Amino acid sequence: MIYSFDAGDADLILHSADCKEFRVHRCILSIASPVFRDMLTFPQPHESTHQPPHVDLPETTATLDILLRYIYPIPSPKIEDFDTLSNVLISAEKYQAEGVISRLRTILVSPHFLDLEPLRVYAIACRWSFLEEAKFASTHTAYIDLVKQGEGCMEDMKYMSGLDFHRLLVLQQARRDTVQRVVTEQLAPGGCCSAGYKDIRKLLVEEMSRKKVDVSDCLLMLETNGKVKPCKSGMCPLGHAKIEVFVKSVVNGLGELPPSV
């Protein structure tokens, strides 16, 4: 059964911006939030001697309802979209509800949000100086188009500093440089198929810089693009006999990629 914030023993009434009434308990709010605690030390107006005092808050019903459910010792609702998460986080920060903030930080870097929009997760973490969350989110931005994804989260990115965004650009460039170096080292020109080295080097650098790949991904990519040659000598790294060994050496070398900002 969903708790409805209409308890008969409530000693405070909160009014949301859109006039929804929440009958709550001062002691719970005071424990969760020093801002609420200080607010409730001031005398509150009484409409009648039979009603608890009331406080008007600027939060919408949707935001206030979720915030209170995270404050109260009751089951918390799932937060599945960025707008809801951002709104509740703004309110939790305003009321200094540290217990709620801690739980929202965990939700922010959950797979659901990181897989959806890692750049937006990074931007929100930077806004509130969640350093560990920002660092973790940056690992998921390594293979995305920052400009394209940024177009969808401008509202959150406007709170992110230029330095924070520059760190992501540096991370992507550092990873690309590492891929370039590893591929070049492992694919030294020579052998009977040397004419194809330039093309395969370019293909590998572009693909490995764009997304995370394993050995099977690389082999499939090279075969699909016609880069694996049926070399009769069996010595050329682009031939069937040597290609898997070559690809493994490249993928293993990518363990040096910078993981995060």
Identify which of 116, 127, 36 has the alpha carbon closest to the alpha carbon of residue 86: 127
Q: How far apart are CA 158 and CA 219, in angstroms?
A: 41
Domain ranges of the chain: 12-162, 188-256
CA angle 109, 74, 156 (to 5 degrees): 30
CATH fold of 12-162: Potassium Channel Kv1.1; Chain A (3.30.710)
The structure's pTM equals: 0.82
Please tell me the predicted confidence (pLDDT) of residue 134: 97
- Give the bridge partners for 14, in sequence order: 22, 55
- Give the bridge partners for 229, in sequence order: 239
Q: How far apart are CA 32 and CA 71, in angstroms?
A: 6
pLDDT truncated to tens, each residue of the chain (261 aa)? 789 999 999 999 999 999 999 999 999 999 999 999 998 887 655 555 678 898 999 999 999 999 999 999 999 999 999 999 999 999 999 999 999 999 999 999 999 999 999 999 999 999 999 999 999 999 999 888 999 999 999 999 999 999 999 999 999 888 888 888 887 777 665 555 554 666 777 777 777 777 777 778 777 777 777 766 656 556 666 666 567 777 787 777 776 677 788
Q: How far apart are CA 185 and CA 134, in angstroms?
A: 33
Please tell me the predicted confidence (pLDDT) of residue 228: 60
